[in-house]
Structure 1
């Protein structure tokens, strides 16, 4: 099994890089970005360091890669945090210097399109962190969600086991980032009907994690970037979630089917599935539609695993990815799924 190692952690007072390896959305939406930077400084005690493309839309892949190289190579930078995701970080990977990154391992935080960089670091043997973007988690309206903040502090500053806790309420509905009124209050939350949903939960599975945003994983597989042979995932824990683009249940099934045909799905002993996001600015669904979307996605996942790995332990509705709150998941770190105890423990 491929087993990445954990890079050293920052301490309060350290400088951390804030980068935009996908979209330079801080240029367009400064309100959540500046709020996120302020919380990074005042609440977490870290000093943000920006780079030429951090606030610049339309930067070339080579320029974004150059910023990543500068951040990782600088001995005074203790961690690297994404401003937000996007949709073309895949094009940055070809410009990355593998030797430079491998010689200068650092904690890297991001999700969504940052799945590209997380998978790239995983391939180099470096544990990364799925979660913790500046504009979404740090820059959340009103206040950071307590579960998010607690998880982020643990991932940033500590090492060792951390038990995740299920949320009692969540949201997947956005409010406009260009309206100051958005940031005057926390987003309205919807009570969770139950905690996590377990399948084949008669055992304990512990292994090295891999996955991320499912759509990005499918792009990596199509482009054959940062992908190792299927057997190197033997005994691991797959984790995935879907984005605000809301892929249909059919598309989710087809992606998983392709992963099954590639021999990937049968390698994982355990699976964590993020809470499905069923609302977007382009598709403003009613509450009952969101419930149906999540139900259909769950059925698609179960169908794929029934065909390719019917013995896998699966946990649904874990709070990571594109809903709020967002727990940090170590990418390449160890995850323990305890079915009988109904607990999830990650190692930061």
Structure 2
């Protein structure tokens, strides 16, 4: 049972800005209503510029939250794009490895990089939701499907299974205070979709936002990011990928098909498609490029027997489930379920 929750800003410092105060207040109340004691780590509310300019403080917040025995769960405020800059402050002297403890860690988007950091030091984590994007939803409540998984995680410390959402929502474009209580437009959803390969497969899941993963190998966003990732060996060795399931979801930037192809090619060059047991693909936000992405996956991976399952309600499309990393998952598309061996 989760009681004490720490909120960290490991990428962007958005939650410290006045323009989101109404959202943050909603989120705090919801967490309190769930029976949680909420603590913002010392630098989480310092604002965008401060957080951007002080990666060492972001790293310190994470280390403090991991080391504090009273904290049960670490919830990431939001994503961003430069959490890789924490690497020297977490790995130069084994700081992260020394701080790791048995806690729940939840985040998505650029937090993908933090998940890989924690995987490197042997910590199991949870992918799929964040404080600002999910708990602070402007509707009268959290989105029901999203809330179901969040409540399961805080009440049990685990996720037993994931099933598809019956609906999906268009992304919110206006987060102003006048939008509080305004529902999102929604559409019927159609369940998990087997693109190719066997309908049942198993393995531990690892992955995240393909935009952030592509930045491991491509320096267009930050020229030094591939250098940092290589220096600290952030992308797992090929032996670590054997039998795993790769999770890929795409960001609100709605990566062009041309860039998506390059990102999948970069992953192919690592050799992981020859050793993993399957791939899970998150529903793209607003279903943008959904058909183009599917075709690219089939064409570029060029491995017809490798299972690929699309339309998982994870990542930037709403609503969002939560997927555990580091535990064996069994994907069963015939029965439209992903089960986890907790």
Give the equivalent residue in structure 1 for 2:39: 49
- RMSD (CA atoms): 1.8
Match of 1:35 in 2: 26
> Match for 1:84 among 64, 70, 78?
78
Equivalent residue runs for 1:1-348 within 5 Å: 10-11=1-2, 14-28=3-17, 29-42=20-33, 44-56=34-46, 57-58=48-49, 59=51, 60-96=54-90, 97-102=95-100, 104-142=101-139, 143-158=141-156, 162-177=160-175, 179-192=176-189, 194-221=190-217, 222=226, 223-224=229-230, 225-278=233-286, 290=287, 293-306=289-302, 309-347=303-341
- Where does structure 2 lack aligned partners over 5 or more consecutive residues? 218-225
Q: Which moved more, 1:248-257 or 1:223-232?
A: 223-232
1:342 & 1:27 partners in 2: Cα distance? 40
CA distance in 2, matches of 1:249, 1:347: 35
Any conservation in 2 of the 1:78–1:106 contact (CA below 8 Å)?
Answer: yes
Write out the 4+ residue segments of structure 1 that deviate beyond 4 Å after TM superposition. none
**Cα separation, 1, equivalents of 2:5 and 2:60:** 16
TM-score normalised per structure 1:
0.86
Check conservation: 1:168, 1:195, Cα contact below 8 A: yes
Shift of 1:297: 1.2
Cα distance change, pair 151–347 in 1 and its aligned pair in 2 (3 A)? farther
Structure 1, gaps ≥5 residues long:
1-9, 279-289
**Deviation of 1:160 (Å):** 6.0
Contact 2:210 2:250 in 1 (8 A): yes
Distance apart, 1:185 and its partner CA? 2.3
How many residues align? The count is 319
Instruction: Give the equivalent residue in structure 2 for 1:6.
Output: none
